[in-house]
Amino acid sequence: MQKLVLASNNAGKLKEFQALLAPLNFQVITQGELGISSAEEPYLTFVENALAKARHASAASGLPALADDSGICAHALDGRPGVISARYAGEPANDLANNQKLISEIGTQSERGAHYVCALVFVNSASDPEPLIVQTRWYGEIITDGRGNNGFGYDPHFYIPELKLTAAEMDPTHKNLVSHRGQALRELIAQLKVHV
């Protein structure tokens, strides 16, 4: 198996990536397992932050690295929380506080549309001149009352009308098929099969 550093310490993301990358013979390990600190994420776009994280993890480990930058964009809030989704309510990052702030800011507005964004970047090395980059969206609506115990982040409040479920009510296997991260990883896997 080829080792691959995941530029994240998020247990939820690690679980999803391990399941989706296992068929490609990648052993996914987090940067934290290798004692690598988190990269700075100063950029305004998901792609730039993901690229910075991937290069940082690869430079520190000497291994290929995979990074994602993902978040939720509420249409009524001009795309907020966007790239600061994980820290929307401030530090330390807290899912409950982030959800409460999002619901509060949307308030009684009739526009409840939102989409998750996932930017995935794979680099063979820190100086890789041709990183593999994928960005995808998953559309839904924000609901006030959270439902479900699966998933993480904003999943209990992210409702998919055609499924009549929140992301947190979905079976993890089904979620991996339709989510922003699942879509992005499938696209990335297709590129990995050709380029790596």
pLDDT tens for 113-148 read 999 999 999 999 999 999 999 999 999 999 999 999
Q: Report whether pLDDT(184) > 70.
A: yes
Reduced to 3 DSSP states, what percent helix, strand and coil does the chain have, rounded to the nearest 5?
40, 25, 35
Residues with catalytic roles: 69
State residue 196's pLDDT score.
66
Contact 72, 50 (CB under 8 A): no
Structural domain boundaries enclosing 109: 2-195
Q: What is the mean pLDDT of the chain?
A: 93
Position 50: which residue type?
A: A
**Domains: count for the chain:** 1
Q: Please report, for the domain that includes residue 56, its CATH number.
A: 3.90.950.10
Give the largest Cα separation in the chain, rounded: 51
Residues in Cβ contact with 62 at an 8 Å cutoff, skipping those fewer than 6 apart: none
Between residues 119 and 16, which one has the greater pLDDT?
A: 119
Q: How confident is the model at residue 173 (pLDDT cuts 50, 70, 90)?
A: confident
State residue 10's pLDDT score.
79
